A = this chain, B = another copy of it.
Amino acid sequence: MNKIITIGREFGSGGRELGIRLADELGIKYYDKEILTRMAEDSDFSEEYISSTVETRQSRILPITVGHSISLTSDYRIMQMQELYRTQTKTIRELAEDGDCVIIGRCADYILRDMKPCRIFVFADIESRVQRCMERRTEDEQSMTEQELRRRILAIDKERAGYYNDFTFQKWGDKKNYDLCINTTELDIRECARGLARFF
């Protein structure tokens, strides 16, 4: 059976960087936003719609298929979300069956549970996450204050938690749903990835 490592992560905890570095150290594939691109290729959903929906619970009016835009009623919205989750499940299963890999977020730990992935959850205290985000602000984000970043971090976590909890019937970030929970508050991500690669 393929070696599958799934990484759930609090926003700003460095989980994504840890995943990239770990995959690199182990010489295996890494999937994050690639999942959304592949979902768009394999379905009628636009990548923009997928990106705004997977791991969020937003119900904004968005183009749901390439070139079309409609106002979504609640029932229709739920059906769309379920359809999207089926696509997500199919895509993630295909990627995992394709070979050893690290998969970031998107309920992969739950979706692949029969493949016995190593389920990692990465978290850190809010101060270090704000600090991390401050240091890595994009050009658009330069004007954001620490307070605004903090609110954004907490809002994104809330969306990820909501999405995960709705579809997996488990609690996002609850240690009993993971094999390894890593607190990156005082950790050097590069060192941690090296250590983890040796662990595996």
Chain A residues 141 to 200 lying within 8 A of chain B, measured CB to CB, are: 173, 175-176, 178-183, 186-187, 195-196, 198-200
Number of contact residues on A: which range applies?
A: 20 to 34
State whether the Cβ of A125 lies closer than 8 Å to any Cβ in chain B.
yes
Question: Given A198-B199, A199-B199, does the pair A180, B181 have CB atoms closer than 8 Å?
Answer: yes
Do A123 and B195 have beta carbons less than 8 Å apart? Answer: no
| Residues in chain B near residue A176, CB distance under 8 A | 123, 125, 183
- A residues contacting B by CB (< 8 A) are 116, 121, 123, 125, 173, 175-176, 178-183, 186-187, 195-196, 198-200
Do A195 and B199 have beta carbons less than 8 Å apart? Answer: yes
Do A183 and B187 have beta carbons less than 8 Å apart? Answer: no
